[in-house]
Amino acid sequence: MHSLSAAVGTLMREVARDVVLPRYQNLAGHEVEEKTVGELVTIADREAELRLNDGLSRILPDAGLVGEEACAADPSLTEKLETGLNWVIDPIDGTGNFAAGKPPFAIMVALADAGIMQASWILDPLTGRLCEAALGRGAWIDGEPVKARESGANIPIAGLSVLFLDPADRQAMIDRVEGKFEVADIPRCAGEQYPRIVLGVHDLAAFERTLPWDHAPGALFVNEAGGHVARPDGSPYRLAADPGRGLLAAASPALWERAAGILYG
């Protein structure tokens, strides 16, 4: 696993250096498109995914490739997640931030076997921070073992991604957390939001939409760091063709239980 992890990390840094960063704050108007309402894609997303596909295929030729941009063109590709080994690829997480020329954004990769995450990598191209995790083996930041820690704030700090909730459910959630959590601005980048939980910046995060490339890397990273990520009903997050709805991440299992009771009853 060590040699595989090193190879993936090296590949991601190369893609950041050669493809992503040269386009940062340097995109022409025609190089940014709206693929769905409110969802942007840039030339850097597409080029980075192609480079990652090529490199990951060389690292582990037997694994399939399930990338965000490929799945946007052919949603049936997500069916591969339920069987066999597959790379799950988000070439640029936080594309809206990237296209606007501001941080944070991330390159994210996970390796899954029959829908269960086995390893994950989250690279911040601007700072070079690399978060890694391996199932049953732990989590690391820049090669150093890391354990999730709570913020120590008087009340837990929560990042609530409520954009994809309907207005009534959104307001209901806001009402439920009033006085119980300090609601923080979200970074609009799962590749930043999950590390914030491990690093003690935020105590928890709640998501409504749970696409595999957005959450597979971070969910494994938080779980392996000693935090807890699960569906609102407590069931584990597994990758599937139907991504399902709702995901709660917390810096500790006890905090997860407390937050789930408040957020979901």
| Cis peptide bond N-terminal to 104, omega within 30 | yes
pLDDT tens figures, 140-165: 999 999 999 999 999 999 998 767 66
pLDDT tens figures, 5-41: 999 999 999 999 999 999 999 999 999 999 887 789 9
DSSP state of 88: E
pTM of the model: 0.96
Looking only at the bridges linking them, the beta strands covering 245-250 and 228-230 are: antiparallel
Domains of the chain: 2-145 (3.30.540.10), 157-264 (3.40.190.80)
CA-based angle 221:232:147, to the nearest 5?
25
